[in-house]
């Protein structure tokens, strides 16, 4: 009988394989985290389906279904890579959520208060980072493509997840970025960088945004970089109603992913029902 064990060595081999498949840095970090959890649980014991189902049941008690499924996807991918198809586990069935959770919906007003709060704290870079993400729908990891040359041309060419797409920059944003670059004596390369010249990391942006919550009067749950991308998506869709174009702008491979970005809250849906006037 062939032993099926997860070891640090085979785990690193699998992660290297994913890297060669051009998986994003965030995906690699997530898979490493999930596989480390499996390794810590089992050690170097032989993996058996019964024990794995017990591990899955434990995850269900501790985490949300979406988090459990995230772990299962990572682990199942590793099992497929090793040829251990009999160890793969079924994902949890989840009811499709058609409404955005109101407590997590960042509004335009709240966004503007965050930008204003950053400015009041003298953090010009952070206020421009937030405006750039929200005005273009760009990912945090793609901020490195907002270069001085891109600002001059009015468009950034973004390479990510095996795709290349063009991001257009609004005129007012270009003006602000030029002024910022001039004040920082940036003559070429990325606009947003650390003091050492490296691209900004999402954790730094996340941390700096969280520090604005109290002053801006915005709930902590709503304040994270990716929520700015969601606000861009909802705002664009309200104007254009073209979900296929929006998917291309966001760099999504599936329109189903884009649907998540443009979900409205139940409160907004209720307003529409009242406006229909179909009850005598």
- 40-67: pLDDT as tens digits: 999 878 999 999 999 999 999 999 888 9
More confident site: 78 or 194? 78
Same domain, 128 and 242: yes
The answer to whether residues 82 and 109 belong to one domain is no
Which of 87, 120, 147 is the endpoint of a domain? 87
| Length in residues, the chain | 280
Q: Which segment, 199-208, 214-223, 261-270, is predicted with the most confidence on average?
A: 214-223
The verdict on 72 and 155 lying in the same domain is no
Reported confidence tier of residue 276, pLDDT bands at 50, 70, 90? confident
**Domain identity same for 197 and 79:** no
Q: Tens of pLDDT along 104-143? A: 889 999 999 999 999 999 999 999 999 999 999 999 989 9
268, pLDDT greater than 90: no
Q: Is residue 81 part of a domain?
A: yes
In contact, 10 and 44? CB cutoff 8 Å: no
Please count the structural domains in the chain: 2
Burial call 213-225: b when 16+ CB within 10 Å, e when fewer: beebebeeebbbb
CA distance 7 to 18: 17
Judge whether 65 lies within some domain.
yes
Q: Is a pLDDT exceeding 90 seen at residue 103?
A: no
Torsion of CA 231, 234, 240, 242, to 10 degrees: 120
Question: Residue 272 domain-assigned?
Answer: no
- Looking at residue 140, what is its pLDDT? 92
Q: Answer whether residue 93 is part of any domain.
A: no
3 falls within a domain: no
Backbone angles phi, psi at 102, to 5 degrees: -60, -35
97, pLDDT greater than 70: no
**Domain presence at residue 170:** yes
For residue 226, the domain's CATH number is: 1.10.443.10
If asked whether residues 79 and 130 sit together in one domain, one would say no
Strand partners, 193: 199
Range of the domain at 40: 8-87
**Arithmetic mean of pLDDT, 166-187:** 95
Confidence of residue 9 (pLDDT cuts 50, 70, 90): very high
Same domain, 47 and 107: no
- Could you tell me the CA-to-CA distances from 81 to 53, 86, 167, 228, 256 in Å, in that order? 20, 12, 35, 36, 27
pLDDT in the model for residue 155: 95
Q: Tell whether 173 and 150 lie within a shared domain.
A: yes
Q: Is the domain of 231 the same as that of 208? A: yes
- How high is the pLDDT of residue 229? 95
Name the pLDDT band for 162 (thresholds 50, 70, 90): low
The pair of three-digit structure tokens given for residue 158, joined into one six-digit string: 């973004």
Question: What is the rounded CA–CA span in Å between residue 56 and residue 62?
Answer: 10
CB-facing half-sphere around the CA of 127: CA atoms within 13 A = 18
Residues 12 and 150 in one domain: no
Burial 32-54 (b: 16+ CB within 10 A, else e): bebbeebbeebeeeebeeeebee
Nearest to 75 by CA among 37, 113, 111: 37
Q: Same structural domain for residues 137 and 74?
A: no
Between 84 and 265, the higher pLDDT residue:
84
H-helix or E-strand containing 248?
helix 243-250
Q: For the segment 212-260, what is each residue's pLDDT rounded down to a tens digit?
A: 999 999 999 999 999 999 999 999 998 988 999 999 999 888 888 898 8
My answer on whether 123 and 189 are in the same domain is yes
Residue 176: per-residue pLDDT: 97
Enclosing H/E stretch for 269: helix 266-276
Q: Has residue 270 been placed in a domain?
A: no
């Amino acid at each position: 009988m062939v032993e099926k064990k997860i070891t640090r060595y085979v785990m690193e081999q699998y992660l290297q394989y994913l890297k060669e498949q051009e998986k994003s840095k965030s995906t690699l970090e997530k898979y490493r985290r999930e596989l480390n959890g499996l390794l810590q649980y089992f050690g170097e014991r032989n993996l058996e389906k019964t024990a794995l189902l017990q591990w899955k049941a434990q995850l269900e008690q501790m985490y949300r279904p979406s988090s459990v499924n995230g772990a299962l996807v990572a682990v199942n991918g590793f099992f497929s890579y090793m040829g251990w198809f009999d160890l793969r586990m079924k994902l949890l069935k989840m009811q499709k959520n058609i409404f955005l959770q109101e407590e997590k919906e960042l509004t335009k007003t709240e966004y503007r208060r965050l930008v204003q709060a950053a400015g009041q704290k003298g953090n010009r870079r952070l206020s421009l980072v937030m405006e750039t993400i929200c005005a273009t729908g760009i990912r945090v990891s793609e901020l490195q493509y907002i270069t001085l040359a891109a600002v001059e041309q009015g468009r950034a060419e973004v390479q990510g997840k095996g795709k290349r797409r063009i991001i257009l920059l609004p005129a007012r944003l270009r003006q602000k970025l030029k002024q910022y670059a001039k004040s920082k004596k940036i003559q070429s390369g990325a606009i947003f960088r650390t003091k050492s010249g490296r691209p900004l990391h999402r954790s730094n942006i996340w941390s700096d945004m969280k520090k604005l919550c109290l002053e801006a009067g915005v709930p902590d749950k709503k304040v994270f970089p990716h929520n700015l991308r969601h606000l861009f998506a909802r705002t664009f869709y309200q104007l254009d109603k073209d979900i296929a174009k929006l998917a291309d702008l966001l760099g999504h491979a599936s329109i189903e992913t884009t649907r998540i970005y443009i979900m409205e809250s139940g409160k907004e849906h209720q307003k529409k029902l009242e406006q229909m006037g179909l009850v005598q």
